[in-house]
Structure 1
Amino acid sequence: MAFYSETKVAPRHVTSEASVPFDQAYKEAIEKKILPGYALIAGGRDGNILYSKADGVASLKEGETQPFKLDTICWIASMTKLLTSVACLQAVEAGLLELEKPVTETLPEVGKYGILTGWNDEKNEGIYEQHKTPVTLRMLLCHTSGYEYDWFSPLLAKWRASRNEQPWTGPTVEDKTTLPLLFEPGTSFRYGGSPDWTGKLIERVTGKSLEEFMVEKIFEPLGIKDLTFYPKKREDMKDRLATLSTLSETGEAPAKDASDQDMLFGGTDCLGGGGGYGSAQDFFTFLQAVLRRDNRLLNSESYDELFRPQLNDEVKTALNEYLRSSPAHAQFLGMSLPQEIEKTWSFAGLTVEQDLEGRMLAGTHTWGGVPSMTWYMDHKAGICGVAFCQIMPPMFPGVLALHEQFQRAMYAKATKGEQRE
């Protein structure tokens, strides 16, 4: 996945002065050809909409003129993980899965190589030890299983190369995610493909595809039609599908068409960690339902588990050190949050443990997706929001700076009781 391992960390090139209204900043980004198009929605726990707008174009392909709308279908990448977490807890409620049960009975591929502790360059082979702790569903859901994405790990890149394989390629979860572990399960944090395994776990215990399970348990109860793993098979989506655009490797405009990139690298499975597609308006419908703890999705105890910080002190320290370990980690995983702010992890995603003045309150959950997209749920302020676009490099700081301004403006509207637009 070369755009991760080789991409230079991009500088910010978007106006971020507080004196510039956030909607004007987005407009300027379109005018400067930094951002082809976007959709923003924010609202409250009570069901109100604080802000809703889309602008720009859905594609830079030659001859394409379709505007970017609230129902434009985007690759949501790692925003899929929240859907998969909810689906897993639904399966737990149904007695199909257990959080503490080792998953190898159903997923024998998990941990099959043991822990890759180093590399023998002379022999071009790994150095391994057997893990002592079985991998559980809880570990998979909070990235403490020992797995890391192979495109993010130099050691796993060597392992792939020794097998004449490319990182994160192939059609199935098994192809992409059957990897060595990098630490004893439960003792550290690395961001990886564990949610792909949790999606596969649901498929194996139910006999249904992850999409079929989500349609039955999430989409239909909420009246959602615009979330899927297979948009090209949907006639009602083909004309609404946005394409990727990219700035230069260092984030320089103008953005150019990148629609020829296969962002799933041959994937044909339902990839619970990053294979979803959907519209801003329907993902927001889902997000707002989760914020209000809609009982059509989960019961009260399951929502408590979804939102509860999952990391002990040792692993929380590992998470925060991981986010600060390199500029690439900060860009791809830091969600434009100050590095000095302590974070932890829940099944819902990254959890902010301190107030960020004028932006969000402690306990806010947030995550995003590769093409510079974000979502957040501020439980204390009672608001949530989504920012959709399809621009690379991954999690481009200039665009995330825009999303931060959006979050700050919505926080001000919610806390000042401003009128709905």
Structure 2
Amino acid sequence: MPFDETFKTAADKLLADLTGGDDLKTVVPGLVVTVTDANGDVYTGAAGVRKLGDTETITPDSTFCFFSTTKAITAVCALQLVEEGLLDLDKPAAEYLPLIGTVKVFDKWDEAGKPVLREPKTAITPRMLLSHTAGFSYEFQEPQVYSRLHKEHGYPGIDSGLMTYITGYPLLFDPGSEWHYGINMDWMGLIIEAIRGMSLDAVMKKYVFAPLGMNSTSFQMTPEMKARLVTVHRRSPETGLLSADPSYVLKQGDALETHNGGHGLYGTVGDYSKFIRMFLNDGLADSGARVLKKETIDKAWEDQVEGIPMPDITPLDPNMSIPTPSDGSRNGWAISFMKLLKPAPSGRPAGSVNWSGLTNLFYFIDRENKLGVFYGAQVLPFGDPSTYFGFGELEALVYKHL
């Protein structure tokens, strides 16, 4: 057995080393990790605390903000619509949501410092949204337009919960011409809502969470979920010291105007492991319920951006994200994950997919080896060295034992 007591001992030690000690420049406050194969979780580890300064330990049922690991779940909801014949990935998205057809492209700043916009040369398609080639960005990573609109013109930020966070920003370029990471999946969520006639939360609960048994995942936290919430922590870019930031909670209740398909879910690591396992079983839930067809996953796994350069994401705000190491390899983009086009140094094979969430959440899905991992943390900025490299060590450990 590859994931026997030897692996468990090594993985437990890694998590204990990352979360142990009192050095606020290096410690990770708390981690929850799952390793799954097609049959179920083969390892679950939890170490540290939910909040620095508290004695209550983090546990496998602790609640995490999923941030951008939300995107893959939104993509599954879109792919289900494709299977039902309700969504064509290559038709203009405005056929399903007219509002997206009104979005214009940023052209220049006028003399008064206001944005001048122009009509796009091409129409946005759902496939562009799912592959981040529609033209949208994030205000904390794009300095020329989005950051200025946010800082100088009061456009809302990622944690605002406002509809205008999705609908207010212009395109950076003509749809389909470049790759840029941004609010694409938030728009995809609005399209899903328009087609289903339901909120995105209700869609996910009916079509994804219920069949998969993801009973502790939602845009709106229940009192039980809130009681188990892991606090978001920040490591200061000036001092390197880590501190708890309990105020950093995405909007809930009446303050939440829309469900953000790109970053808004809360849930448990164990729930996400069920989602990963569905892909390892070619679209089947543990219960045997079918969530996606195998051929749908096969098509979604294909590189959607071949021929379009996929540059590294360049962070702008060091409180939110810092540069992460890259070996310079060109990666692809599937629906909706990064796809390895050559094997990783860890041993993870080409063809596997992965992505992450803002607070150093990481996962990968390796259908070749029927293997998936989710690594749960709540530490800002993204790329925090202790947390980021901890995941790299875990991935290497998994493939060493495999």
User: If the TM-score is normalised by the length of the shorter chain, which range does it land in?
Assistant: 0.7 to 0.9
Higher relative contact order (CA 8 A, sep 6+): 1
Query: What is the deviation of 1:270?
Result: 1.4
Partner of 1:405: 393
1:55 lines up with 2:42 in the alignment: no
Letter in 2 for 1:85: A
Question: In angstroms, what is the RMSD of aligned CA positions?
Answer: 2.5
Query: What is the deviation of 1:271?
Result: 0.9
Name which of 292, 295, 302 aligns with 1:301.
Answer: 295
The answer to whether the Cα contact below 8 Å between 2:33 and 2:44 also exists between their aligned partners in 1 is: yes
Query: What is the deviation of 1:238?
Result: 2.7
Partner of 1:138: 127
The answer to whether the Cα contact below 8 Å between 2:106 and 2:170 also exists between their aligned partners in 1 is: yes
Query: What is the deviation of 1:160?
Result: 4.0
Instruction: Rate the CA distance shift 1:108–1:152 in 2: closer, same or farther, 3 A.
Output: farther
- Which deviates the most, 260-269 or 34-43? 260-269
1:196 lines up with 2:186 in the alignment: yes
Instruction: Rate the CA distance shift 1:169–1:257 in 2: closer, same or farther, 3 A.
Output: closer
Partner of 2:345: 357
The answer to whether the Cα contact below 8 Å between 1:177 and 1:193 also exists between their aligned partners in 2 is: no
Partner of 1:213: 203
Query: What is the deviation of 1:78?
Result: 0.2
Partner of 2:142: 153
The answer to whether the Cα contact below 8 Å between 1:229 and 1:276 also exists between their aligned partners in 2 is: yes
The answer to whether the Cα contact below 8 Å between 1:369 and 1:395 also exists between their aligned partners in 2 is: no
Instruction: Rate the CA distance shift 1:216–1:356 in 2: closer, same or farther, 3 A.
Output: same
The answer to whether the Cα contact below 8 Å between 2:337 and 2:355 also exists between their aligned partners in 1 is: yes
Deviations 1:141-166 (A, max 9, x none): 11000111133222122234554434
Letter in 1 for 2:270: Q
Deviations 1:175-211 (A, max 9, x none): 4443111111011011111101111111111111111
Question: Any stretches of 5+ residues in structure 2 without a counterpart?
Answer: 1-8, 285-289
Q: TM-score, normalised by structure 2?
A: 0.87
| Count of residue pairs the alignment pairs up | 381
Alignment of 1:221-240 (within 5 A): 221-231=211-221, 234-240=222-228
Query: What is the deviation of 1:23?
Result: 4.1
Question: Any stretches of 5+ residues in structure 1 without a counterpart?
Answer: 1-19, 415-421
Partner of 1:370: 358
- Which deviates the most, 177-186 or 235-244? 235-244
Deviations 1:95-153 (A, max 9, x none): 22221121123323325241113323x22122333112110111111100011113322
CA distance in 2 between partners of 1:48 and 1:118 (Å):
53
CA distance in 1 between partners of 2:140 and 2:48 (Å):
32
Alignment of 1:304-343 (within 5 A): 304-313=298-307, 315=308, 317=309, 319=310, 321-323=311-313, 332=321, 338-343=326-331
Name which of 367, 370, 373 aligns with 1:379.
Answer: 367
- Which deviates the most, 166-175 or 35-44? 166-175
CA distance in 2 between partners of 1:198 and 1:130 (Å):
21
Query: What is the deviation of 1:48?
Result: 4.4
1:289 lines up with 2:289 in the alignment: no
- Which deviates the most, 103-112 or 341-350? 103-112
The answer to whether the Cα contact below 8 Å between 1:118 and 1:126 also exists between their aligned partners in 2 is: yes
Partner of 1:273: 262
Q: TM-score, normalised by structure 1?
A: 0.83
CA distance in 2 between partners of 1:103 and 1:210 (Å):
17
CA distance in 2 between partners of 1:383 and 1:238 (Å):
30
Deviations 1:76-109 (A, max 9, x none): 1000001000011011212222211211233233
Query: What is the deviation of 1:250?
Result: 4.6
Report the identity percentage. Answer: 25
Letter in 2 for 1:101: K
- Which deviates the most, 353-362 or 165-174? 165-174
**SS of alignment partner, residue 397 of structure 2:** helix
**SS of alignment partner, residue 117 of structure 1:** strand
Instruction: Rate the CA distance shift 1:358–1:244 in 2: closer, same or farther, 3 A.
Output: closer
CA distance in 2 between partners of 1:304 and 1:356 (Å):
21
CA distance in 2 between partners of 1:306 and 1:107 (Å):
22
CA distance in 2 between partners of 1:166 and 1:235 (Å):
27
**SS of alignment partner, residue 39 of structure 1:** strand
The answer to whether the Cα contact below 8 Å between 2:141 and 2:317 also exists between their aligned partners in 1 is: no
Name which of 167, 176, 191 aligns with 2:157.
Answer: 167
1:261 lines up with 2:248 in the alignment: yes
Partner of 1:15: none
Instruction: Rate the CA distance shift 1:286–1:271 in 2: closer, same or farther, 3 A.
Output: same
Instruction: Rate the CA distance shift 1:333–1:219 in 2: closer, same or farther, 3 A.
Output: farther
CA distance in 2 between partners of 1:395 and 1:271 (Å):
23
**SS of alignment partner, residue 95 of structure 2:** coil
Letter in 2 for 1:311: V
CA distance in 1 between partners of 2:376 and 2:191 (Å):
29
